[in-house]
Amino acid sequence: MIVVHRLVRLLIVLLAVTFLSYALLNLLPGDPVTQILGLSATEEARAQVRQELGLDQPLLVRYLDWLGGIATGDFGTSYITRMPVAAELAERLPVTLELLVAAQVIALGLAIPIGVAAARRAGRALDQALTALSFALLSTPVFVLGVLLILVFAVTWQVVPATGWTPISLDLGWNLTSVILPAVTLGCGQLAVYARLLRTDLIATLQEDYITLARARGLSPRRILWRHALRPSAITLITAVGLNLGALIGGAVIIETLFGLPGVGRLIVDSIFSRDYLSVQGGVVLISVGYVAVNVAVDLVYAAVDPRIRRA
Amino acid sequence: MKRWRTPATLLLATAVLLACSGQRPVAGPPGGGPSAASSGPAQGGRLVYGLSADANGFNPVTDQFAAQSYSMVTTIIEPLVAVAADGSWKPYLAESVTPNDKYDEWTIKVRSGIAFTDGIRLTGDIVKANLEAQKASPLTAAVFVPIKSFELADPMTVKVKLSQPWVAFPYYLAAQNGMIVPPASLADPRTASLKPVGTGPFIFKEYVPDNRMVVVKNPHYWRNGLPYLDEIEFRILPDSQTRAQTLEAGGIDAIGTSRDEDLTKFGAMKDAYSVHRAEGMAVAEYFFLLNTAVAPLDDVRVRRALAHATDRRTVISTLRGGLTEPADGPWSKDSPWYAAGGYPDYDLAKATALVKEVEAEKGPIRFELISTPDPNTMQGVELAQDMWRKAGIEVSIKQADQADLINRAITGGFQATVWTQFSAQDPDGEYIWMHQGYAKPVGSISLNMTRLKDDRLSKALDVGRISPDEATRKQAYATVQERLRELVPYVFVDHLNTGAIIARSRVQGIGEHTLPDGEKGLPLTGSPIPYHPFTQIWVTQR
């Protein structure tokens, strides 16, 4: 029942998002036909291409036509590359997925120990230093951080490539070296958010009565922290991981351009600039489904992390 | 007490190990490169080349080619004609291209002994089919409007019949319109867009959109001993700063750029890098495009005032690091078509006087200037706004992305906009952008985007198109420049010769281009970032 309810909500969200994005994109000034044919094409040639692509049809007709295609798994064909949009997305999705997962792993992997350390020493020098570091990371735009990291790790030390992408299927080692800098760049902003959230929640949890009881029972501070305080303090963090997917995707657009990664974000941006409506729509559907799915998964994780939620 | 550090330390260590686990991020294996740079060109090696953008596709009949497309596609597909270093056209896949007395019929004789990499031999009927496809294509048809028909005179010869004399016709065969693909590509344009086939020095190996294209040596290339390289990887790196950083980090061997800071920085490291800049007709001009069909820019006094108020040297010193040359027309001083004199020079007093004269009749002068939102372009636009304000002209800036800006320009939905253009090898290449026959009312598609209608200018363009006599043509294009300077549909700023190729010192032969009959070919062409042939590029061992 819950699954059906979620699916209905997903469908409503998808309809709203795709219609709005389709309408907004079509309201943008600029003509896809000029992007396809260039400046020197005649008016007759433009009319011919417009008709071939169905761009002479009203907006709603085009949207419904596209929606009908989606229902049968046909995402349409790119105006510019004339490739099926589904194939374009399938080719680029692994790149973006790997980048997002790697960024989240790096962010969480570093944020948890940092948050725990800061909470344990709340108000002391280490906490203040970590707080300052968090704010510095939060306030550094990803494109600045990316350029700095390239300068240090690629140009000066030459331990990773500055740009480029090697698929896992081609060479795992090269793949890891090509994803590490983009993932660190993307993950740093999230790291700061996660560390701050965890620190705040942990400090509150450490003042709970059951923690005082645990201390009175003689449990070690490490055991109290990692076994008894961390899990109930992670709810906000888990929520943020789900909600931040949107921010991560936004950051991925910049990161993919900066590091020359052939991902979905770059496809969407290029398609917006070239008014390739169907490619943009395909990307929007993909991101919307992904966003909703991740947040459903987050709801399920709540229950696994906190028994009180499971019982409720 | 401090054990909490363990997970973080492990993660950091893992990250570092991961980072170090791959090979050192330099370009691919040497692949049997030559032993010494000083010993001259040698076979073998691999080149990794950074491009600023991906291509829309590789089919010359259906896909619009920008400079980066030419970089990739000309390694595989070749044109009938090429441009020589002196700016003249020379046959390439064609053995000869000959006009009749009136220049309204051209005979293209195809070289024998050339084959596509799919095994099909290049013949006259294939050339005819290609040219017919170009004429039928919505993408390229406008250029071939003067062509009436194509006829196969013999198995290796095609006659092109025109509706009017066209002296510069062969130049159009040096670009997209003259690139020849095999029948299979014409029959299946979608496949040809993704997997190009041609007669060129390299063969398509791999293409990953927005990532890379790899081509390998064509062992049966019709030009003996060429190409030198075994393989080229074109890597798509849209961010200009990280592209330059990748070159510096050793991840790629050469890049195209249009940033003056790259020219300055890498130019100073002469032992490590070589910098090759485009020159002459290949250089585009940076200017403000004015819509002469709408107020207040329909008044030539306002347009002249704008030119008088534009301090081109200040723009160049402020925005281009002093690297470019001021422009006073569509062709630079090192072009054989350049004619001096007559452009309204920087003179604020003259500009102010003209503004006052117009204001006395029509009231305050205000208009909107469109710019793309990128910081470099915006700086130039804001500088112009400030200069023009000093003359008494109020300009508001409107930002529009490239697609919107282009659409406004061709439909007339603008007053003024920043623009870069005019890099055709022959002045006739600018015919459709300046001739009054291509100026349409606001709201209609107008290739003459200024919508300037001037009989003398258009007649001069016609003379340049039909007259075979070089002196007459030069005179005609001198008239074109004179009229442009008098009527000011464009406020010229500079010749944008910051377009360059920067290569590591191991890369030799960029810009070296010997044509099949022995003439020196044009080293670099195209804008804003130039392109060049890869046939004679070679690399030294690392």
Give which of A173, A230, A202, A270 is closest to B23, Cα–Cα. A173
Instruction: Tell the residue number behind the tokens 């300068």, with chain if given.
Output: A151
Pull the structure tokens for residue B437: 């026959």
The better pLDDT of the pair B202, A240 is held by B202
Residues of B in contact with A88 (CB under 8 A): 209
Render pLDDT for B96-106 as a digit per residue (tens, 0 to 9).
999 999 999 99
According to the model, what pLDDT value does residue B25 have? 34
Give which of B491, B488, B454 is closest to B301, Cα–Cα. B488
According to the model, what pLDDT value does residue B374 have? 84
pLDDT band (50, 70, 90) for residue B37 = very low
Position A149 in a domain: yes
Give which of A72, A74, A37 is closest to A52, Cα–Cα. A37
Residues A59 and A188 occupy one common structural domain: no
Residues A8 and A62 occupy one common structural domain: yes
CATH class, range B284-495: alpha beta
**Which residue of A44, A51, A82, A276 is the best one to mutate when testing the B interface, meaning the one whose CB has the most B CBs within 10 A?**
A82
pLDDT tens series, chain A, 312 aa: 666 777 787 788 888 988 998 898 888 888 888 888 888 788 888 898 999 899 999 999 999 999 999 888 899 999 988 889 999 999 999 999 999 999 999 999 999 999 999 998 888 898 899 888 888 888 899 889 999 999 999 999 999 999 999 998 889 999 999 999 999 999 998 999 999 999 999 999 999 899 899 989 888 888 888 888 888 888 888 888 888 887 788 888 899 999 999 999 999 999 998 889 999 999 988 888 888 888 778 877 877 777 666 665
According to the model, what pLDDT value does residue A89 have? 94
Query: What is the rounded average pLDDT for all residues in chain B?
Result: 90
Residues A55 and A90 occupy one common structural domain: no
Position A77 in a domain: no
Pull the structure tokens for residue A113: 């120990």
Render pLDDT for B145-195 as a digit per residue (tens, 0 to 9).
899 999 999 999 999 999 999 999 999 999 999 999 999 999 999 999 999
Query: What is the rounded average pLDDT for all residues in chain A?
Result: 88
Q: Which is it for strands B490-495 and B285-290: parallel, antiparallel or unpaired?
A: antiparallel
Q: Which of B7, B19, B403 sits opposite A180 (nearest CB)?
A: B19
Query: Would you call A159 and B19 a contact, using CB atoms and an 8 Å cutoff?
Result: yes
Render pLDDT for B293-343 as a digit per residue (tens, 0 to 9).
999 999 999 999 999 999 999 999 999 989 999 999 999 988 999 999 999
According to the model, what pLDDT value does residue B305 have? 98
Query: Would you call B56 and A222 a contact, using CB atoms and an 8 Å cutoff?
Result: no
Position A78 in a domain: no
Residues A144 and A9 occupy one common structural domain: no
pLDDT band (50, 70, 90) for residue B113 = very high
What 8-state DSSP symbol labels residue B92? Answer: S
Distances, alpha carbon B194 to alpha carbons A199, B61, B206, B213, B221, in Å: 52, 13, 9, 10, 21
Q: What pTM was estimated for this model as a whole?
A: 0.86
The residue type at A9: R
**How many structural domains are present in chain A?**
2
Report whether pLDDT(B450) > 50. Answer: yes
Residues A284 and A147 occupy one common structural domain: yes
Render pLDDT for B239-274 as a digit per residue (tens, 0 to 9).
999 999 999 999 999 999 988 899 999 999 999 999
Render pLDDT for A142-168 as a digit per residue (tens, 0 to 9).
889 999 999 999 999 999 999 999 998
Chain A, window 84-123: residues with a beta carbon less than 8 angstroms from a chain B beta carbon: 88, 91-92, 106, 109-110, 112-114, 116-117, 120
Residues A34 and A158 occupy one common structural domain: no
Residues A234 and A93 occupy one common structural domain: yes
Share of chain B above pLDDT 90, in %: 81
Position A79 in a domain: no
Query: Would you call B242 and A110 a contact, using CB atoms and an 8 Å cutoff?
Result: no
According to the model, what pLDDT value does residue A310 have? 63
- By mean pLDDT, which of A247-251, B1-5, B167-171, B350-354 is the weakest? B1-5
Position A12 in a domain: yes
Q: Chain A: give the shortest CA distance to residue B202, in Å.
A: 23
Provide ipTM, 2 decimals: 0.84
Residues A92 and A64 occupy one common structural domain: no
Position A80 in a domain: no
CATH number for the domain including A162?
Answer: 1.10.3720.10
Burial of residue B359 (number of CB atoms within 10 Å: 0-12, 13-18, 19+): middle
Query: Would you call A38 and B19 a contact, using CB atoms and an 8 Å cutoff?
Result: no
Q: Which of B18, B212, B245 sits opposite A151 (nearest CB)?
A: B245
Residues A42 and A156 occupy one common structural domain: no
Domain with A135, as residue range(s), is: 85-311
Q: Chain B: give the shortest CA distance to residue A15, in Å.
A: 27
Q: Which is it for strands B212-217 and B231-236: parallel, antiparallel or unpaired?
A: antiparallel
Share of chain B above pLDDT 70, in %: 93
| Residue A146 touches chain B, beta carbons under 8 Å | yes
